[in-house]
Structure 1
């Protein structure tokens, strides 16, 4: 599994490089350096919280791991999202820890469950401010429908089983999606909410660094863009979709199109800086430990 993980890591860098050279970023004038510094601190804190959340998910499901191994597996697979198909970011961190095919399957299942909670929580956080500010426009209706659908599918067994059975009847393929027990998953939900708090407030400070016309409601463009980007499985890292959602949200909130476009694309660089931070931190721990990957010390 270690060779596969290293190959996955290499391929993810190729797709990241292709993405970066295809983009044209307009760097605006920095208006508030302190806000930018605070935004980066919150961004990095969010990535540390995402490592913590992965560790919590593993422990809840009977796979206790050290903080170092949670960091290494999560941090070194972070760029896998730029490979088309979100399955790679799920498989990457699971493959790092697994010592056999059975563990790969079990850990991938846990990783998927945490990702589903992450998406559900992101939409849930965005719902109320989006509805209050925009009313029942298309984006509000879509968010409400997604929250209702995800809640029924993830937390209610009858609906969960019915949808999986319907999928099999239509596509003649069996898919395994975890049913989430709300009580048992509360620690995971709490840790995921911590990630979102860090990143949403961080995104708000990031926008303030480049524009004085930012209002608090605009920060909820970030979780919406990330969640829709994850759902768009065929796009590497949600490329293009995330930026489009941020632009649309900010324009509806009153920001001019040029500023919204600049912030949306610069936000991708900001987030990549966070990914690079957690990747380098994980790599440093891995090289410093000099130990093989795996669940057991």
Structure 2
């Protein structure tokens, strides 16, 4: 018989080995991730609902103005507007790629277009937050999306003021209070210099604790974004001309492009208003009133506002649908370029 056969067996249960800090923190990180996703989708839902509500609320007034216009010109105007919105998406995506994230156009359109619906909530910050959270969901650093959106807005201001210079005589008469906006033009041009743009982007990335750019933003990237933005404003000018009476000469397109550009800039500064409502219309009516009756300018401005809202919703929906159809391919690209480890398993 073995020597230890009569020794009492221990009744103590062996204590489990202490869990590593990594395994203890996993449920906490998982809960935080779920909470962030829930907040992200609540934000997106609120943004889309606000844009839809805004459009429904103004539809009766827009419908009355539409009845006074030629149907073919209205349809053509909306089609041209969609082209302008698409050019704006390409400008935004060009900047994001130049800042070091090779996002596909469809994914960039989804982030930019769905996120920008936040402008229909009073306070422009909601658009930036929605874009940042959408970018984060697909592996793009929040700081990179924020810098992209800020630079896209800056390029929009610069381009609007370049075009606005063509309408300085009309602006000085109709809206002399807007002349101070042109002080922003040299400041904006300096900020678009590749060295300044790279420095500011790295500063934002550092604040968000993301790695700095491994390259300097190229001049051709900035030039392409600016040209696309100018082309976008030009199509908006055609969009306004098509809404006007057939007797308005096509040579006024540049004035209309300048009017809508300066109107956008003035509305951007009125950030407490949803999408700069009222401010943009005042600028448009004042400048369009130099080439058409004020009543007609008011109708054109009102219909244009409704079309922009409908276009924003349609383009955002199309981008989201295209991203859903191309989900597998886009997700594979998200995983290859992600700046967050949890995107690969999402």
**What range describes the TM-score normalised by the shorter chain of this pair?**
0.7 to 0.9
* Larger mean Cα displacement after TM superposition, 284-293 or 41-50: 284-293
The alpha-carbon deviation at position 264 of structure 1 amounts to 0.9
Matches within 5 A, 1:152-191: 152=190, 155=193, 184-191=218-225
User: In the alignment, is residue 247 of structure 1 matched against residue 285 of structure 2?
Assistant: yes
What runs of 5+ residues in structure 2 fail to find an aligned partner?
1-35, 200-206, 208-215, 337-346
1:68 to 106, 111, 121: 106
User: In the alignment, is residue 282 of structure 1 matched against residue 286 of structure 2?
Assistant: no
Question: Does the aligned pair in 2 maintain the 1:39–1:206 contact within 8 Å?
Answer: yes
Query: With structure 1 as the length reference, what TM-score do the two structures score?
Result: 0.77
| Counterpart residue number, 2:121 | 83
- Where relative contact order (Cα < 8 A, 6+ residues apart) is larger, the structure is 1
RMSD: 3.3
| Counterpart residue number, 1:207 | 241
The alpha-carbon deviation at position 225 of structure 1 amounts to 1.0
- Larger gyration radius, structure 1 or structure 2: 2
Matches within 5 A, 1:39-118: 39-98=77-136, 103-118=141-156
* Larger mean Cα displacement after TM superposition, 182-191 or 211-220: 182-191
User: In the alignment, is residue 262 of structure 1 matched against residue 299 of structure 2?
Assistant: yes
Structure 1 residue runs of 4 or more that deviate by more than 6 Å after TM superposition: none
Count matched residues.
Answer: 274
Distance 1:50 1:296, change over 3 A: farther
Distance 1:209 1:4, change over 3 A: same
What runs of 5+ residues in structure 1 fail to find an aligned partner?
162-173, 175-181
**CA deviation map 1:13-61 (0-9, x unaligned):** 3332443355333324455444333322221122222222222112111
Question: Does the aligned pair in 1 maintain the 2:52–2:313 contact within 8 Å?
Answer: no
| Counterpart residue number, 2:29 | none
Equivalent-residue separation in structure 2 for 1:276 and 1:211 (angstroms): 27
Distance 1:67 1:2, change over 3 A: farther
Query: With structure 2 as the length reference, what TM-score do the two structures score?
Result: 0.68
